[in-house]
């Protein structure tokens, strides 16, 4: 029986033998389609090839594409675990032709693979075609020998694919497998088509037309092929299973879940294990591709999936985090096919563990609230929307998690009520990935890029260059010329200016022509164009003119020093904290650097010192910084670090710096830092000059932020710190080396004086120094000692109450203090009387008289506050009343 890994390899090898380029899966976060939350089909990474916006050096491709359907239009989350074939994560096997072969070969390839390589009984296969696609029907008859009764014509859009309202489109043919009449269901197109007898296993799309906004459709100049076959479905078929969750891969994850929870994989908790197995895959791959849990956009979808899995683990009796313990089982199954999973294993485990630990605290309380609400519902009732919103807002329960929990009880949620409760919040905060204002202006850049092509970057080798002004944009519109004072964006054919990317800010400098000069303040990138944001400072700049471009060298040098230091920091953090450290963001500006990385807690002073010392040691090495161009596979083989989730082309730029014996990185196995990077850097590490860490702070959940200085800015900072130290030493009349000990002595002296002053105040308040204290009253057989004082802080009251309790021996005491316009009250009851009277009752009565409310503590000691200290007598009387009414 072939494993899913075998089936994937067989598919890719088959198309590889037939002239297809085997292309790696793209990341789950689409890089070329902002309309998609996640990649949900194999064609996503090839969209620009189908539309003609991009060309590559191959016309045939095959992939096993990672896909997630858990948000937006394509959302399988609610059904996962309860059906045989729904998943949040799945693999789409596909073959693609970009203007090369068409229907004949696509159908012939598919039939050969299914019946010969996979060995499927041809008699069990039938197909659908679009009702007017006589060509496809004829090919099926010719290639496969199918009769008319096994070629079903479908007149609906189920068999006609469109990329969107306009653009490429065409008919498709779907291949079905007949599981036999022992299973209920009818063929596609029949009234019983929703049964499980006939299962779709492959969809072949024939992109042959282009549709326009007016509804007209014309043939495409280059006809293309896009096919998709779910690995989980074909795997179940080839393994003789009728349920995707019984395939070898899914079963291994289910058994890992059963082992971790000590719950029978096929018992009453069967659905829980299936959900955990599925969600383990989607969460792990999303984290590996750069998505982190958050409360918005893709991060919120990840958090929803995580929390749904965690609730199911809770239902299996898990008391401690479970999901992270299953990651090794997933890596064993899928790490060979998807190496990024192994590279990110430490990060995945830490992220899952941290999220589950945090959610566990609110999960228990939220489920108790849900059970309480459910107990009041009639059979088959609906949870009020307000209750569902409280679970969401207070306990972090996504709506689908609440719906999932209620589904098991045969209940539902009043979603209209939930939406109403959410309306106000939705008005204040839009979905973060819905787009920005800048996106609305992007069309002009795409038009200019189509006209002129991308800007050529020369800045790796030079900071000055000559170019041609291709276009000027002012106020969102193209202009022919711009006069002095105008603020514009300049497009040139080639530029030494680095455009902001990868955390490195864009360059600044100057552009000069024969008629004018412009100061460039920043450089950005859009649609492959470098946008030189500028202000005309002299004369006039005209489109079409030759120009001289000059980068501000001191500024660029400072940026490069910070960028190179960031690489050193990244590696130093991994060595100090562990392999789970992964870059989550950075800023390399001329005056500072900022580095965000995955780590769940603040760095200790020792860890910060270790990182700072290691970076400075490498700077002193003054080793050369080298760059090489190579394939991504070669770079990873050398140990290069890459950003999780980043999609790299066929060639990457690898930056190496520093030496560290035994690192295992680089061609010599002794390179300190090796990263894929498109930014600019110093030529030798000594050019960084100096490195000073300013501190560590929290950036987001599970993400820390370091800020640091380099070069002259770092030295200026150290000099300023030294000047401050000298100033402090002068005030203390101590040398810099004696300052710490002198400050310690002052702190100790202050602490002693503070304690002495507090004691004197307490003694004075309690009648010390010869003054007589109040006498205890007898109320209802209880000795009651009460007193009002001033000049005593609220935190001193418990100690004074203890002294009063010692004085009275057996009884109750009350102390009311004027704390500078506010009142503080404390009460105490001796141990022999706490069964009869509680100090909490006394302070609450007194606090009410003082214009306050509440109060709390223990039966023998309690405290409260009030607004009006002049009511001290009334407060004492109120406490006496409590005793009198016992």
22-69 pLDDT, tens digit each: 999 999 987 655 557 888 899 989 888 887 778 899 999 999 999 998
Does residue 368 come out as left (phi exceeding 0), alpha (psi in the -120 to 50 range) or beta?
Answer: alpha
* Mean pLDDT of the 107-116 span: 97
* Mean pLDDT of the 376-382 span: 81
Give the chain's mean pLDDT: 88
Query: CA–CA separation, 673 vs 660, rounded Å?
Result: 9
Binding site for Zn(2+): what residues are annotated? 563, 567, 677, 681
pLDDT at 330: 98
Binding site: what residues are annotated? 563, 567, 677, 681
Q: What are the structure tokens assigned to 102, written together?
A: 């068409």
Cβ proximity of 496 and 520 under 8 Å: no
For the domain 438-551, what is the CATH code?
A: 2.40.30.130
Query: CA–CA separation, 360 vs 253, rounded Å?
Result: 22
pLDDT digits (tens, 9 = 90+) for 420-467: 887 755 444 333 323 333 444 567 887 888 788 888 888 988 899 888
Residue 402: pLDDT band by 50, 70, 90 thresholds?
confident
Cβ proximity of 27 and 12 under 8 Å: no
pLDDT digits (tens, 9 = 90+) for 188-237: 989 888 888 999 999 999 999 888 878 888 888 889 999 999 999 999 99
Between 3.30.420.40, 3.40.30.10, 2.60.120.620, 3.30.980.10, what CATH number should domain 566-718 receive? Answer: 3.30.980.10
Q: What is the 3-state secondary structure (H, E, C) of 243-289?
A: CHHHCHHHHHHHHHHHHHHCCCCCCCCHHHHHHHHHHHHHHHHHHHC
pLDDT at 76: 61
Is 71's pLDDT higher than 90?
no
Q: What are the structure tokens assigned to 653, written together?
A: 């730029």
Among 23-37, 78-92, 689-703, 756-770, the range scoring the smallest mean pLDDT is 756-770
pLDDT at 87: 94
Query: What percentage of the chain reaches a pLDDT higher than 90?
Result: 57
**Domain 4-246: what homologous superfamily?**
Bira Bifunctional Protein; Domain 2 (3.30.930.10)
pLDDT digits (tens, 9 = 90+) for 530-575: 999 999 999 999 999 999 999 999 999 999 999 999 999 999 999 9
CA 240 to chain centre: 38
* Mean pLDDT of the 821-844 span: 93
Is 475's pLDDT higher than 80?
yes
pLDDT at 72: 52
Query: CA–CA separation, 505 vs 849, rounded Å?
Result: 63
Decide: pTM greater than 0.75: no
Residue 647: pLDDT band by 50, 70, 90 thresholds?
low
pLDDT at 251: 96
Please tell me which residue, 737 or 175, carries the higher pLDDT value.
175
Is 614's pLDDT higher than 50?
yes
Closest CA to 230 of 41, 75, 70, 61: 41
Buried b (16+ CB within 10 A) or exposed e, 137-169: bebbeebbebeeebbbbbeeebbbbebeeebbb
Is 813's pLDDT higher than 90?
yes
Q: What are the structure tokens assigned to 256, written together?
A: 């890992």
Query: CA–CA separation, 516 vs 335, rounded Å?
Result: 58
For the domain 775-884, what is the CATH code?
A: 3.10.310.40
Cβ proximity of 88 and 302 under 8 Å: no
pLDDT at 280: 97
CA distances 226 to 207, 211, 607, 611, 705, Å, are: 8, 17, 52, 50, 44
């Amino acid at each position: 029986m072939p494993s899913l890994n075998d089936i994937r390899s067989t598919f890719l090898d088959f198309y590889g033998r037939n002239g297809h380029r085997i292309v790696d899966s793209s990341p789950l976060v689409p890089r070329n389609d902002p309309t998609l939350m996640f990649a949900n089909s194999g064609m996503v990474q090839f969209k620009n090839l189908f539309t003609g916006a991009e060309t590559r050096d191959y016309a045939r491709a095959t992939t096993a594409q990672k896909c997630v359907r858990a948000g937006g239009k394509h959302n399988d989350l609610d059904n996962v675990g309860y059906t045989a074939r729904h998943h949040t994560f799945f693999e789409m096997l596909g073959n693609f032709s970009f203007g090369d072969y068409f229907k004949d070969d696509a159908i012939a390839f598919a039939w050969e693979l299914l019946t010969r390589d996979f060995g499927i009984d041809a008699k069990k296969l039938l197909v659908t075609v679009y009702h007017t696609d006589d060509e496809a029907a004829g090919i099926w008859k010719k290639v496969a020998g199918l009769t008319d009764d096994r070629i079903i014509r479908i007149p609906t859009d189920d068999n006609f694919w469109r990329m969107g309202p306009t653009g490429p489109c065409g008919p498709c043919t779907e291949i079905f497998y007949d599981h036999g009449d022992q299973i209920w269901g009818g063929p596609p197109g029949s009234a019983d088509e929703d049964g499980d007898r006939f299962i779709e296993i492959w969809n072949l799309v024939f992109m042959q037309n282009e549709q326009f906004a007016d509804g007209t459709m014309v043939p495409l100049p280059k006809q293309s092929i896009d096919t998709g076959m779910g690995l989980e479905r074909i795997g179940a078929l080839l393994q003789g299973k009728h349920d995707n969750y019984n395939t070898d891969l899914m079963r291994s994850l289910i058994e890992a879940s059963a082992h971790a929870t000590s719950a029978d994989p096929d018992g009453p908790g069967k659905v829980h294990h299936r959900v955990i197995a599925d969600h383990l895959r989607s969460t792990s791959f999303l984290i590996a591709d750069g998505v982190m849990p958050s409360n918005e956009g893709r991060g919120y979808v990840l958090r929803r999936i995580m929390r749904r899995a965690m609730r199911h683990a809770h239902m299996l009796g898990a008391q401690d985090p479970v999901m992270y313990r299953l990651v090794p089982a997933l890596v064993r199954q899928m790490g060979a096919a998807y190496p990024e999973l192994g590279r990110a294993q430490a990060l995945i485990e830490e992220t899952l563990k941290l999220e589950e630990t945090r959610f566990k605290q609110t999960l228990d309380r939220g489920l108790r609230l849900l059970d309480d609400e459910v107990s009041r519902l009639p059979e088959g009732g609906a949870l009020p929307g307000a209750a569902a919103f409280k679970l969401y807002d207070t306990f972090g329960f996504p709506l689908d998690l609440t719906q999932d929990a209620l589904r098991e009880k045969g209940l539902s949620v009043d979603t209209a009520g939930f939406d109403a409760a959410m309306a106000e919040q939705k008005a204040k905060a839009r979905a973060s990935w819905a787009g920005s204002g800048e996106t609305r202006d992007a069309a002009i850049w795409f038009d200019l890029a189509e006209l002129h092509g991308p800007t050529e970057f020369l800045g790796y080798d030079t900071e000055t260059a000559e170019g041609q002004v291709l276009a000027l944009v002012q106020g969102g519109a193209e202009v022919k010329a711009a006069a002095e004072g105008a603020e514009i964006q300049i497009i040139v054919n080639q530029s030494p200016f680095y455009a902001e990317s990868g955390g490195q800010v864009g360059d600044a400098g100057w552009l000069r022509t024969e008629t004018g000069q412009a100061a460039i303040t920043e450089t950005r990138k859009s649609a492959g164009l470098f946008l030189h944001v500028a202000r005309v400072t002299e004369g006039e700049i005209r489109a079409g003119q030759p120009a001289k471009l000059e980068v501000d060298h001191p500024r660029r040098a400072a940026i490069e020093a910070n960028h190179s230091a960031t690489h050193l920091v990244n590696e130093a953090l991994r060595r100090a904290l562990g392999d789970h450290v992964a870059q989550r963001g950075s800023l390399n500006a001329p005056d500072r650097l900022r580095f965000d990385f995955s780590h769940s807690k603040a760095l200790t002073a020792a860890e910060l010192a270790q990182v700072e010392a290691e970076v400075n040691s490498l700077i002193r090495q003054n080793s050369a910084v080298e760059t090489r161009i190579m394939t991504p596979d070669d770079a990873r083989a050398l140990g290069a670090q890459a950003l999780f989730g980043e999609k790299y082309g066929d060639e990457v730029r690898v930056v190496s710096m520093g030496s560290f014996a035994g690192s295992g990185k680089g061609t010599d196995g002794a390179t300190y830092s090796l990263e894929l990077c498109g930014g600019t850097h110093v030529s030798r590490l000594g050019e960084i000059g100096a490195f000073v860490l300013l501190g560590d702070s929290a950036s987001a959940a599970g993400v820390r932020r370091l800020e640091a200085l380099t070069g002259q800015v770092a030295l200026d900072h150290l000099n300023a710190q030294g000047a401050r130290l000298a100033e402090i030493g002068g005030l203390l009349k101590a040398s810099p080396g004696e300052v710490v000990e002198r400050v310690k002595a002052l702190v100790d002296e202050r602490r002693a004086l503070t304690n002495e002053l507090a004691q004197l105040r307490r003694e004075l308040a309690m009648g010390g120094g010869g003054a007589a204290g109040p006498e205890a009253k007898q109320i209802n057989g209880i000795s009651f000692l009460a007193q009002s004082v001033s000049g005593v802080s609220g935190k001193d009251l418990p100690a004074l109450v203890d002294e009063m309790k010692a004085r009275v021996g057996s009884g109750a005491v009350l102390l009311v203090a004027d704390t500078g316009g506010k009142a503080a009250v404390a009460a105490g009851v001796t141990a022999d009387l706490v069964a009869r009277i509680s100090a909490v009752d006394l302070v609450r009565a007194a606090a009410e008289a003082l214009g306050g409310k509440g109060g709390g503590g223990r039966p023998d000691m309690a405290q409260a506050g009030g607004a009006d200290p002049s009511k001290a007598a009334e407060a004492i009387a109120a406490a006496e009343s409590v005793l009198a009414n016992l």
